Amino acid sequence: MSFVLVIPSIDIKNGKTVRVVQGIPELNCSEYGNDPVEMARIWRAENAKMIHLVDFDAIGLTGDINLKVIEKICKSVIIPVEYAGGIRSLEDAKKAFDCGTCRIVLSTLAFENEKEFLNIFDAFGPSRVAISLDVIDNQIVTRARKHLTGVSPTDFALHLKSIGVERFIVTDVKRNGMLLGPNIELSKQIAIATGKKVTLSGGIRNKDELMDVQHFSDVGIDSVIIGRALYENRFPCQKLWRVAEIGIFQ
């Protein structure tokens, strides 16, 4: 059995670290530290093997004002940095990679503009392009998690599998940042249906729930993204990613 990779999340708005609840960033959360670059260094010092960045300015159509911060983060740590940030074009994807990110995460674009998604996917390949499945009440949601599509996450994932997608990041939006526990069943369904790798995102509160996810590593849930629970020190110790070294791009 492989150990699940723990990926700390850093959410950025206006160049600062923010807390996110159900996809809505709350500003001035000083208890988390305002400097995302310093936060990345802290997670690296804790021996994290990867960092997940979310750029809420890019998601909210307010431009690429955080690119310099993202580039500085990538230069400050020697671990892979994954980027999610409202990428809408091949040019946006190139900018993200030029900053030093190792992988981009797409959501709305893949659903609403498959032609441009394929341009990006063909240019960079499945190891560098992942798909975020944001879900509310068993429906894919898009446009900053505000638009209910009526499409089941499993159906959409199977379509993307047929294109060649190899990794899905699965988020039950109602649990994101709420410390309500992970929706393991949703991630398990996607992993089993597609046979692809799944990153579970959102809801994990403690070590026991992380171990619950661990039971499904063999079906494809190989990693988890954790934000609030790590920032609020809800684990007895933050050595979770030291248990085992696993390949990030397997």
* Distance (Å, whole) CA 92 – CA 109: 11
In the numeric block, which tokens belong to residue 48? 């994290």
* Distance (Å, whole) CA 144 – CA 59: 6
* Distance (Å, whole) CA 167 – CA 131: 6
Residue type at position 27: L
* Distance (Å, whole) CA 115 – CA 93: 14
The angle at the Cα of 189, spanning 186 to 194, to the nearest 5 degrees, equals 130
* Distance (Å, whole) CA 178 – CA 4: 22
Residue 248, CB half-sphere, CA atoms under 13 Å: how many?
A: 17
* Distance (Å, whole) CA 43 – CA 8: 7
Task: Evaluate whether 52 touches 7 at the Cβ level (below 8 Å).
Answer: yes
Q: Hey, which residues are catalytic here?
A: 11, 134
What does each C-alpha distance from 143 to 51, 62, 88 come to in angstroms?
23, 14, 11
222 phi, psi to nearest 5 deg: -105, 0
